[in-house]
């Protein structure tokens, strides 16, 4: 019987999933759905921003976009996590938090994991093909970012920046899927998301800072050292600034900026509460970024409604 992984907490996979499926669900991180939210929310924000910029209400195709992006986020996050675990299997075996994952623990072989990656990717491709050409090309282009990410922690102190480029690509895809083309607001939203991700993943990396030092894995948490709290503050400030600029360029009104203030307040709370030596708190603050992303989505939605009424 498989035990819960250290950073999973109480979850539906360990509580209710059939025993034979548990290793596969854990390989795709379905026991930790926060990653799905963090991959999905930029896509939903991009769709909402495109609707706001065009000053139109969603139609049936737009509703499919929200659904399709949800399914695609589940599948591509699962494929990306499995690929990451294939590449990192030797490192994961040496780190306490990751040693129990399905590949390093021997419950799933590397060959089986590759099959999982291919299967999830093929289903995601079927969803991608329902989008317009611009969004399809962006989706294909994201594969280079996904493929390179697991190697970044070996060659740069800023793997969190690469993760930001990758995880927020959905902002560009979502906007293009709803609008038919890219525009400045989408790029600004994406940049804001990159800053947001660097901030929250730096917080996440604090859990592994000692193990990472032992095995030679690089991170912004290690690079910033005693200045990590100030670094996260700068990243979160960049997230708010560029989200605000995206709203300005899209012509959003007061409701957006009032809600953006709530987003800024939530990110400021994370910085204020952060204690770099407290890994348990770091995980809790990291998980609170689902709420941060939802707040920004609500801000864009409020802005969209205010310009279409």
* Tens of pLDDT, residues 260-283: 999 999 999 999 999 999 999 999
Encoded tokens for 165: 């480029």
CA 104 to chain centre: 24
pLDDT bucket at 232, cuts 50 / 70 / 90 = very high
State the pTM of this model.
0.91
Contacts of 114 by beta carbon, 8 Å cutoff, 6+ apart: 86
- Supply the pLDDT for residue 305: 87
Tell me, what's the pLDDT at 280? Answer: 92
| C-beta neighbour count of 17 within 10 angstroms | 18
- Per the structure block, which two tokens stand in for 7? 């950073």
CA dihedral 273, 278, 282, 283 (to 10 degrees): -130
In sequence order, which ranges of 55-157 are alpha helices (DSSP H)? 60-87, 89-92, 110-128, 133-155
pLDDT score at 216? 83
Nearest to 22 by CA among 101, 111, 82: 101
Are 103 and 28 a contacting pair, CB within 8 Å?
no
Res 96: pLDDT: 77
Q: What is the pLDDT of residues 174-216, one digit of tens each?
A: 999 999 999 999 999 999 999 999 999 999 999 888 877 888 8
All domains of the chain, ordered by start, with CATH?
A: 19-308 (1.10.357.140)
Structure tokens at 66: 């929200």
The phi and psi torsions of 286 (rounded to 5 degrees) equal: -60, -50
Q: How far apart are CA 178 and CA 303, in angstroms?
A: 16
pLDDT score recorded for residue 4: 66
194 three-class SS: helix
Q: What's the pLDDT at 12?
A: 85
Q: Tokens 């399905």 belong to which residue?
A: 102
Nearest Cα to Cα of residue 159 among 145, 173, 176: 145
Query: What is the overall mean pLDDT for the chain?
Result: 93
Instruction: Note the pLDDT of residue 5.
Output: 66
- Angle CA(157)–CA(265)–CA(32) in degrees, nearest 5? 55
Q: At 91, is the pLDDT very low, low, confident or very high (cuts 50, 70, 90)?
A: confident
pLDDT in tens, 8-57: 667 888 888 999 999 999 999 999 999 999 999 999 999 999 999 999 88
């Amino acid at each position: 019987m498989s035990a819960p992984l250290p950073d999973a907490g109480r979850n539906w996979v360990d509580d209710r999933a059939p025993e034979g499926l548990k290793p596969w669900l854990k390989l795709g991180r379905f026991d930790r759905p926060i990653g799905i939210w963090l991959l999905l929310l930029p896509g939903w924000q991009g769709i909402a921003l495109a609707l706001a910029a065009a000053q139109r209400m969603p139609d049936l195709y737009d509703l499919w976009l929200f659904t399709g992006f949800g399914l695609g986020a589940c599948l591509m996050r699962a494929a990306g996590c499995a690929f990451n675990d294939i590449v990192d299997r030797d490192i994961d075996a040496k780190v306490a938090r990751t040693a129990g994952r399905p590949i390093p623990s021997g419950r799933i072989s590397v060959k089986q994991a590759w099959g999982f990656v291919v299967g999830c990717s093929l289903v995601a491709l079927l969803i991608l093909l329902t989008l317009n050409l611009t969004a399809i090309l962006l989706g294909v282009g994201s594969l280079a970012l996904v493929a390179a990410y697991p190697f970044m922690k070996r060659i740069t102190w800023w793997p969190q920046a690469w993760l930001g480029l990758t995880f927020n690509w959905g902002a560009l895809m979502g906007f293009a899927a709803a609008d038919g083309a890219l525009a400045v607001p989408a790029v600004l939203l994406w940049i804001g998301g990159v800053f947001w991700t660097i901030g929250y993943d730096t917080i996440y990396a604090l859990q592994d800072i000692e193990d990472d030092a032992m095995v030679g894995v690089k991170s912004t948490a290690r690079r910033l050292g005693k200045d990590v709290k100030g670094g996260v503050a700068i990243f979160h400030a960049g997230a708010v600034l560029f989200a605000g600029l995206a709203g300005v360029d899209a012509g959003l009104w007061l409701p957006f900026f009032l809600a953006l203030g709530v987003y800024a307040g939530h990110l400021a709370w994370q910085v204020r509460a952060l204690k770099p030596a407290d890994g348990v708190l770091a995980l809790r603050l990291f998980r609170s970024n689902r709420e941060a992303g939802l707040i920004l989505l609500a801000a864009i939605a409020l802005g969209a409604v205010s310009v279409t009424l």
